[in-house]
Amino acid sequence: MLRRIATLAAAALLGAALLAGCSSPDGELVSKTPFPEFSAVDTDGESIGSDVFGDWDATIVNFWNNGCGTCIAEMPELEEMYQQFKTENVNLIGVAADSGESDEQLACARDILHEKGVTYANISPSPESSFYQDFVKGLTGYPTTYIVDREGNIIGAPIIGNVKAQEQTVRERIERVRS
């Protein structure tokens, strides 16, 4: 029992140390990492590229895949957030990570999006693209969400897990972009 408590305490300290390195003492984010350039199609076959970020104060980019139950379960909440945020000049884009792997995967992604009532764009990355090879392929868990500013920079660390449950973090990052 003591060993378990010690392990949990060590993990909490490590997490706190990592998070402390993400911001300066006055709460500003220290770094802005560029979101990878991409030129792709969405699940409806429409062209979409990195230039989409310039149209909005911020963009929420949510990575998901067809086999991720948590990803699929949160889609109605993301749709609700999208409808709310777009009135505030904040966009939401999904990345259906495995939808470009085959026609069957794309059809499955489309069915999921339709069933969940999703209206925001969902990128269908080609597995041969540098975006997929250099970024998407390296994701270790789903859902993974990034906040991207109008210049195409990632703001803060990735948000892992249900986005609605972490909406306060999302809002804080968006406000940092606006200030």
Structure confidence at residue 25 (pLDDT): 36
Structure confidence at residue 19 (pLDDT): 39
What distance in Å separates the CA atoms of residue 172 and residue 35, rounded to the nearest whole number? 19
Question: Are 3 and 62 found together in one domain?
Answer: no
How many structural domains compose the chain?
2
Chunked mean pLDDT (size 10), the chain, 179 residues: 42 37 40 90 96 97 97 97 96 97 98 98 97 95 96 95 92 90
Structure confidence at residue 31 (pLDDT): 59
Question: Are 100 and 150 found together in one domain?
Answer: yes
Question: Are 21 and 70 found together in one domain?
Answer: no
Question: Are 65 and 149 found together in one domain?
Answer: yes
Structure confidence at residue 179 (pLDDT): 82
Structure confidence at residue 160 (pLDDT): 95
Burial of 56-94, coded b for 16+ CB within 10 Å and e otherwise, reads bbbbbbbbbbbebeebbebbeebbebbeebeeeebbbbb
Question: Are 86 and 23 found together in one domain?
Answer: no
pLDDT in tens, 47-64: 999 999 999 999 999 999
Q: What is the CATH number of the domain that holds 61?
A: 3.40.30.10
Residue ranges making up the domain that contains 72: 31-178
Structure confidence at residue 18 (pLDDT): 37
Helices 167-178 and 69-86, interaxial angle, to 10°? Answer: 40
Task: Map 42-105 to HEC letters.
Answer: ECCCCEEEHHHHHHCCEEEEEEECCCCHHHHHHHHHHHHHHHHHHCCCEEEEEEECCCCCCHHH
Question: Are 83 and 147 found together in one domain?
Answer: yes
